[in-house]
Amino acid sequence: MTSTSDPSATADPRLSSPTAARLLRQATTEFNQRRFAAAAHALTSVLALAPDNPTALKMMAVASQRLGNHASAVECFLKTTRTWPEDPMLRIGLGVSLAELDRGDEAIEHLRLACKLSPSFADAWYDLGEALARQSYAQEAATVLQKALKLSPDHLLARLSLARVWTNLGQLDEAVKAFREVLRRDPGNAEGWFGLSYLNTDCFEPGDFELLERALERPGRPADEQERLWFVQAKLLEMRGDYTRAFDAFRAANELGCKRVRWNPAAAHERAEAVLKAFEGTIPPPPDAEFGREAILIASMPRSGSSLVEQILASHPDVEGANEIKSMAQVLEAETRRRRSLFPSWIPDATAQDWHRLGHEYLALTSRWRETKPRFTDKSLANWLFAGTALSMLPGARIIVVRRDPVETCLACYRQCLGSMYGFACDLADAADYYIDFMRLTRFWVRKYPHRVLDLEYEALVAEPDAAIRRLLEFCELPFDPACLAFHKTRRAVQSLPSAVQIRQGMRSDTARAARYGNRLDALRERLRSGETPHMPPIKRCLFAAASVLSLGTAASVAQSAQTPALAATPPMGWNDWAHYQCNFTAQTILANAKALVSSGLAARGYDIVTIDDCWMQKQRDAAGNLQPDPARFPQGMKPVADAIHALGLKFGIYEDAGSETCGGFAGSGEPDGGGNDHFAQDARLFESWGVDYLKLDGCNVYVPKGGSQDAAYRKAYAAQSAALKALRHPVVFSESAPAYFQGTPGWYEVLDWVRGYGQLWREGSDIMTFNPKHPDKSRFHSVMWNYAYNLPLGRYQTPGNWNDPDFIIGGDGGMSLAETRSQLALWAMMSAPLILSSDVGKLSPTALHILGNREVIRIDQDPLGRMATLVQRTPTMDVLFKPLTGGDYAVAVFNRGSAPLAVDLSLDSLGFAAGNACSMSVSDPWTHATLSQQHGLKANVAAHDTAIWRLHPATGCAAAERTGAITAIDVGHTRDINTYSRCLAASGDVGACLGTGAERWTYTREQTLRAGNQCLAVVDGAPKMQACSNVAGQHWTYRLDGGLVNGADHRCLSIGDQGKSSNHWQMQACGRGLPNQTWALPNG
């Protein structure tokens, strides 16, 4: 879809503040140079001074859209339309962002208005057509796209979109004409060739093969376009009967696909096994055994007949076909985030009421599909994994497992460009391995739910359609209707292009192709046979890679779910040169610190990764395109240094950058300015040859193509580096710096979401202050406090294998007292943060070494649960932190931020334990190693800038602590002062400086209520209000990953006043994504 025009050209005389005017000029400059994150940062300040300024709002809307933060874009576009209600470009921008947020009907409304305001603007009609097609209004989409083409016949995007819509509608002759017209205008258009190949080989013409070969030879073509063209050539070769060359073409296409999307079979196998084990236990009986009867879920692999089965059912007058909807995954993702426990590990804890609530959420999301018919189908390709959850949520639903011959299915997957979610399909061995998981799990569902799950074989359906269709309808408790036998005559939009063609051709028995490839598939056949067990029927299907769609279906979720769990299962520990040396180091510097880690005993405590940061390389690559170590710093090259580090029993880490140059101006791994080939894969192979165990990838100088978003550019770069590392034989821990480049912008939380899918840890904000040898004693503690401040509220993003990184441990180095050194280590440990030293290790004092090597504090940091601490209480000078540990223990810390000593006296109930003296604790102090038993509270005198820390072991009979603590609102981008960056929500509804009072103490219960004292937060008559707790829908709050709190009855978000205006009181507003006045940090679970 298109985007809005340049807003910086709009003159605006409304700024009376000179500061605001200056900042707006700065933002305009940044915007015009396509530095959208910097522009958004400046605009945030402008809008703080002039919240209603339309020019700033318009520019912020476009910048947010380019950064991929469509929720913020929608808010700004809506406000700007109040000033310029008849500006069609604003309506287009608003419609585009609404569509990206899956708010399709709203998007259509604004795009219709844009077309009305500017009826001769082809882009407006094109965007409207795209939005209509997304919402399955295919017939109207075709009419609208034809209007766009009448206005602008050269609009290739509109013509391609129209061709796809014709295909969805089954009007294949029209689709052929449209794709042909695209190719007439642009003979090398990859999308045109690809779309044509979906229709039928009969639509190819003499001379097409030669045209296609010329298109394949076009230099500089992006890899994804080249991949699609190889698929097209393979199908042309099949048409000629040349199956040897066709297979080679399919292999070339899939090799490109495998480079783009790496797949981890072991991780996906573990996920399928975990689902099976989770449902081997007893699931609570439902309160209503027929609840959810309206849902019919189809579970299958791609290219296995699921679209055919859905078309048969959708031909029945009582059934609507919804295609591959994401509703089930969305419900489970939301529950996973709420519980802060990965799916399916929370399954045994779910109550009957939980399942019933989730069922209601699913039916609410799918209500559109029951507006005219009582039943609907859901054929998400993740349903084979979700069948157990579906039947727990919807006990009256029906599940249909559709199976096809295994070799045919695997080959069919291999022959299609299935996209990034189906990474298994580019490798036949992966497909075979995953089929075994599919078969094992679906057999389990059939045994566990024999009256709710139907096993339907595709070949049996094709051979005897009448009997199979009658059986299918009977299972779904649908009366027989002859329309189901004549399914190919049913007019409806089918989203899958290959299936949209095939189901209009009636029941076909000629789809088998495996025999034509002869011994090319022998390895596949053998691998499938090897998966048979005495408990498994002969293997007959290929597998769809389940882990790819456990979240919301994004590429990041795919990568995350397929990661190897053991990589960085606890926060990484080690040493990095940057904060102490910057670029002033040599190989001798690195090795001296590595040896000091060993001789000091720090390596034995876990500090075992030695990483060389920026400035190690030359500014130019060699003739082969390889990075070159700086010969002045590394005269023997990098391999001997790595070997020496490994010989010490340590791991070796290296730095690179996702841009064309590093932050220091040296050779980066990313695309050059202006676009071109990156070096991620090449550099990864080089690093592997050196023995690299850890890669830190910075984010300076990332190329943002014209018309693209900064978010998309960063995501592309980090995804490419992640894929390159996963292709190596040796595992490499991947540290990402992308979020730090979005801190203070509307897109920060979106980036924090997607980085989790690519690496194991990420730098999410400002760097720690570096050592200045000219002023060695200059205090650096304010930098430590700021990094702690912005990291602490982000616990919702962290799980084992995914770590927030607030930057280096500089304790013990210049500018840090011993008390401050204790504080930094204790605070980082409470946050389960990576412990990466950056100091001259050989010059650390014995006391500093004793602190940094404290075994018990490190044990708290490295706890396998990986939880970040909850902010229990904050006063102007003190923070109290609370953290659950493995085995039922807890850690508590009190941080004295003030300049005077602090007397501390904490009761156990203030930490979330039940009030009274029934529960006692064994309390140990890691600093003094003292242990006290049968304690009912915690007392200490804490020096200025110091931190007290305890490990608590509850006595037998103590109930688990509730999620209790402060709820803070985060003022992103405005201040580096803790007291103003994080403001506390009081039960009065006021949001202000944290005072540590009882009114600021909240409990987020298992029932998703927010309790303060003996009352719960509810929405009454559209406004937040405290009332007696009663567990009604108006008291239920869903906590989203972006920090939003959504009310269960009102479905709006808890907000602070009006976005962009000065207000310190709560109210309810329509939910955005990552909006500053809707972002809350809750007590962690």
Query: According to the model, what pLDDT value does residue 507 have?
Result: 66
Is 911 a residue whose pLDDT tops 70? yes
The neighbour count for residue 515, using CB atoms within 10 Å, is 10
- β-pairing, 609-612 vs 651-657, is parallel
Q: Is residue 116 over pLDDT 80?
A: yes
Q: pLDDT value at position 7?
A: 58
Q: Which residues pair with 1027 in a beta bridge?
A: 1016
Q: Are residues 603 and 476 in the same domain?
A: no
| 405 contacts: CB under 8 Å, gap ≥ 6 | 458, 459, 512, 514, 540, 541
> What pLDDT score does 339 carry?
85
Amino acid residing at 143: T
Task: Check residues 1063 and 726 and name the one with the higher pLDDT.
Answer: 726
Q: For the segment 797-820, what is each residue's pLDDT rounded down to a tens digit?
A: 998 899 999 999 999 999 999 999
Annotation says 622 is catalytic: no
**Is there a single domain that holds both residue 576 and residue 511?**
no
Q: Answer yes or no: 105 catalytic.
A: no
**Domain membership flag for residue 59:** yes
Domain annotation covers residue 873: no
Give yes or no: residues 750 and 851 share one domain. Answer: yes
Instruction: Report the percentage of the chain scoring pLDDT > 90.
Output: 53
In this prediction, residue 189 carries a pLDDT of: 87
| pLDDT attached to residue 493 | 58
Q: Which amino acid is at 414?
A: Y
Residue 403 lies in a domain: yes
pLDDT higher than 70, residue 509:
no
Q: What residue has token string 């040599």? A: 586
In CATH, what number is assigned to the domain containing residue 54?
Answer: 1.25.40.10
Better-scored residue on pLDDT, 309 or 916: 309
Q: How much is the average pLDDT of 734-755?
A: 92
pLDDT at 11 over 90: no
Helix/strand/coil for 77: helix
* pLDDT at res. 1062: 52
Structure tokens at 839: 């100091």
At residue 1027, the 3 state secondary structure works out as: strand
pLDDT on residue 263: 77
CB 1004 within 8 A of CB 1082: yes
* Domain carrying residue 22: 7-196
Report pLDDT for 697: 98
For 604, the enclosing helix (H) or strand (E) is none
Nearest to 476 by CA among 576, 373, 549, 407: 373
Please indicate, yes or no, whether residues 186 and 274 belong to a single structural domain of this protein. Answer: no
Active-site entry in 613, 614, 693, 753: 753
pLDDT band of 437, cuts 50, 70, 90: confident
Residue that is written with structure tokens 């927030």 in the block: 804
pLDDT recorded at residue 1060 = 47
Helices (H) and strands (E) in the chain, counts: 37, 34
Q: Does one domain contain both 745 and 804?
A: yes
Give the count of domains, the chain: 6
Residue with tokens 């080679």: 248
875, part of any domain: no
**H-helix or E-strand spanning residue 596:** helix 587-599
Q: Is the pLDDT confidence value at 499 over 80?
A: no
Q: How far apart, in whole angstroms, are the C-alpha atoms of residue 385 and residue 363?
A: 19
Residue ranges of E strands in 885-926: 890-896, 902-907, 921-924
Tell me the two tokens of residue 327: 């509703």
The last residue of a domain, from among 838, 868, 898: 868
What is the overall mean pLDDT for the chain?
A: 87
Indicate the range of 257-271, 323-337, 338-352, 703-717 predicted with least confidence.
Answer: 257-271
Residue 344: asked if its preceding bond is cis (omega within 30°), the reply is yes
The pLDDT assigned to 812 comes to 95
280 and 228 in a single domain? The answer is no
Query: Do you know the residue count of the chain?
Result: 1085
Task: Please indicate, yes or no, whether residues 24 and 144 belong to a single structural domain of this protein.
Answer: yes
Residues 711 and 601 in one domain: yes
Average of pLDDT values for 398-421? 86
Which residues, other chains included, contact 853 with Cβ-Cβ below 8 Å and sequence gap of 6+? Answer: 600, 601, 602, 605
Same-domain pairing of 472 and 597? no
DSSP state of 672: P
Six-digit token string for 233: 């050539």
Q: Does 58 share its domain with 119?
A: yes
How many CB atoms within 10 Å of residue 795?
Answer: 23
Once rounded to an integer, what is the mean pLDDT over residues 300-310?
88
Task: Tell me phi and psi for residue 935, to 5 degrees.
Answer: -95, 140
Residue 643 CB partners (closer than 8 Å, separation 6+): 691
Poorest-pLDDT segment among 608-617, 695-704, 967-976, 1069-1078: 967-976
Q: Per-residue pLDDT for 303 more than 50?
A: yes
Q: Is residue 554 part of a domain?
A: no
| Category of 74 on φ-ψ map: left (φ > 0), alpha (ψ -120 to 50) or beta | alpha
Last residue in a domain, options 868, 894, 915: 868
Alpha-carbon separation of residue 178 from 175, 294, 561, 623, 934 (angstroms): 5, 38, 39, 46, 79
Q: Given the structure tokens 């013990």, which residue do they identify?
A: 812
What's the CATH number where 475 sits?
Answer: 3.40.50.300
pLDDT at 498: 55
Q: Which residues pair with 938 in a beta bridge?
A: 906
Residue type, 685: R
The span from the CA of 63 to the CA of 71, in Å, is 12
When pLDDT is averaged across residues 715-741 and rounded to a whole number, the result is 94
Which member of 437, 698, 861, 946 is catalytic?
698
Comparing C-alpha atoms, which of 503, 513, 383 is closest to residue 453? Answer: 383
pLDDT at residue 544, as a whole number: 28
pLDDT at 420: 63
Mean pLDDT value across residues 114-130: 92
Is 1030 part of a structural domain of the chain?
yes
User: The pTM is what?
Assistant: 0.57
Gap between the Cα atoms of 25 and 8, Å rounded? 9
C-alpha closest to that of 404 among 460, 357, 339, 454: 460
- Other CB atoms within a 10 A radius of the CB of residue 534 amount to 4
CATH number at residue 1015: 2.80.10.50
Amino acid at residue number 901: P
The answer to whether residues 398 and 463 belong to one domain is yes
Residues 526-555 have pLDDT tens digits of: 888 776 432 333 333 232 222 222 322 322
Say if residue 901 is in the same domain as residue 977.
no
In this structure, is residue 117 part of a structural domain? yes
**How far are the Cα atoms of 111, 181, 647, 745, 827 from residue 791, in angstroms, in the given order?**
40, 54, 35, 16, 10
Amino acid letter for position 862: Q
> If we measure between CA atoms, which residue out of 370, 384, 369, 382 comes closest to residue 453?
384
Last residue of a domain, one of 928, 961, 994: 961
Residues of the chain with pLDDT > 70, as a percent, come to 92
Residue 555 lies in a domain: no
